[in-house]
Amino acid sequence: MPFLTIQSAVEQGTALLEEGGVGAPRLTAEVLLGHALHSERAYLYAHARDELTELQWIHYGRYLNDRLKGKPTQYITRKQEFYGREFYVDERVLIPRPETEHLVEAALEFLRDQPQARVLDVGTGSGAIAVTLALETGRRVFASDISAAALEVASSNARKLGAEVAFFESDLAEAIAPGSIDLLVSNPPYVPGADQANMQREVRDWEPHVALFAGDSGLEIYRRLIDQALGAIRSGGHLLMELGFQSLEGVETMLASDWVDLAVTSDLAGWPRVICATRR
């Protein structure tokens, strides 16, 4: 029995995803088919008339079905690009977001002329921030997470990408010796629990809740992290955090008494995205 050509498979997949209300249906169909064929999207155009094998057809069908059930494309393909590198991701970790590259940029700016600075990434997840900083600066970076499962993913990403990162399980920066860190970076959980009902189902039903939610206000992890950072960071050292939607005012208030030189960077959409503070 003849199987579908690549072109018809893309068209049928696109139609199914569109009907199922999935965003960017054509792109998604192409990415999923490329995954089933172990090929890049460009291959699909060059081989549009080739027929799928039975196995490719079965895999593609399964991926489409998973996506229609809400599973994010990145958890299906098991990869996400971050700062120009490919990271393995699965349901144990948050899918790194492009906005977080602003945090990396800000950290790199600090590290440019501080070759000896000791850097800690709190809540490392897939390891995207820590691994990127280690590779971009050629130094060893420390990274913590409360989730042992996330640390397995992060360690494997560091190994695969050749980054020197010392991972450890910790509740935020609790395990850190006082005054031992020069730069603490973090993209902490910051979604208010009350927002759960209105979130995209791809996020709410698939990404780890420990990576998303931070109490009723969304500020609880910031509060504890800022408290702990005060002990962990040396005087004159820096704290860099990603900001959640409408969290700036609350975070600034928490930093008011013990931190100086507060600076905020906005993302491409104009939202305050990164806050930097210096330990008094």
Ligand X SMILES: C[S@@+](CC[C@H](N)C(=O)[O-])C[C@H]1O[C@@H](n2cnc3c(N)ncnc32)[C@H](O)[C@@H]1O
DSSP letters for 263-277: EEEE-TTS-EEEEEE
Cα(81)–Cα(98) distance, integer angstroms: 9
Instruction: Specify the pairing of strand 272-279 against strand 259-266.
Output: antiparallel
Cβ contact 195:216 at 8 Å: no
| Least distance (Å) between residue 165 CB and ligand X | 12
Nearest to 63 by CA among 86, 39, 95, 29: 29
Cβ contact 196:213 at 8 Å: yes
Amino acid, single-letter form, for residue 227: D
Instruction: Specify the pairing of strand 272-279 against strand 233-242.
Output: antiparallel
| Least distance (Å) between residue 13 CB and ligand X | 28
| Least distance (Å) between residue 214 CB and ligand X | 8
| Ramachandran class of 157: left when φ > 0, alpha when ψ lies in -120 to 50, beta otherwise | alpha
Indicate the residue among 28 and 144 with the shorter CB distance to ligand X: 144
Indicate the residue among 111 and 274 with the shorter CB distance to ligand X: 274
Q: Is 253 exposed, middle or buried (0-12, 13-18, 19+ CB in 10 A)?
A: exposed
Indicate the residue among 60 and 190 with the shorter CB distance to ligand X: 190
Indicate the residue among 125 and 218 with the shorter CB distance to ligand X: 125
Indicate the residue among 164 and 169 with the shorter CB distance to ligand X: 169
Collect all residues with Cβ–Cβ distance below 8 Å to 256 and sequence separation of at least 6.
Answer: none
| Least distance (Å) between residue 154 CB and ligand X | 8
| Least distance (Å) between residue 53 CB and ligand X | 36
| Least distance (Å) between residue 67 CB and ligand X | 21
Map residue 216 onto helix, strand or coil: coil
Instruction: Specify the pairing of strand 233-242 against strand 181-186.
Output: parallel
Indicate the residue among 25 and 125 with the shorter CB distance to ligand X: 125
Indicate the residue among 61 and 250 with the shorter CB distance to ligand X: 250
| Least distance (Å) between residue 51 CB and ligand X | 39
Positions in the binding site for ligand X (CB under 6 A) = 94, 96, 100, 122-126, 128-129, 144-147, 150, 171-172, 187-189, 210-211, 221
| Ramachandran class of 113: left when φ > 0, alpha when ψ lies in -120 to 50, beta otherwise | alpha
| Least distance (Å) between residue 37 CB and ligand X | 28
Indicate the residue among 5 and 137 with the shorter CB distance to ligand X: 137
